[in-house]
Amino acid sequence: RPCSAVHMWGMRIAIDIVWLDGTGRILGLRAGLRPWQYAWPRVRGVRDTIELAAGAIERWQLLSGQRLEWRSAGSGVL
């Protein structure tokens, strides 16, 4: 923390990227970042970056402005 840029140098598979502020609000999304690419958010205030399996943004219907909440693994909530 803080972490805002992602590089895919040497990677073999695509990933999705979610950029968050310090409260867990989604500030930016990047779907399908391919190997050998580089990505950074186009907004200020990014505190955290989450790397997800390609397709997760669409599958989970993530949108800018949503707030993510973290719970323990035993809570049964994703």
Please write the tens of the pLDDT for every residue from 34-55: 888 778 777 888 998 988 999 9
pLDDT above 90: residue 8: no
- Answer for the pair 47, 14: CB distance below 8 angstroms, yes or no: no
Mean per-residue pLDDT of the chain: 85
What does the pLDDT read at residue 43? 83
Peptide bond before residue 2 is cis, with ω within 30 degrees of 0: yes
pTM: 0.81
pLDDT(78) > 60: no
Q: Look at 78 and 1; give whichever has higher pLDDT.
A: 1
Tokens describing residue 45: 């205030």
Residue 67 burial by Cβ neighbours in a 10 Å radius (0-12, 13-18, 19+): exposed
Output phi, psi for 22, to 5 deg.
Answer: -70, -10
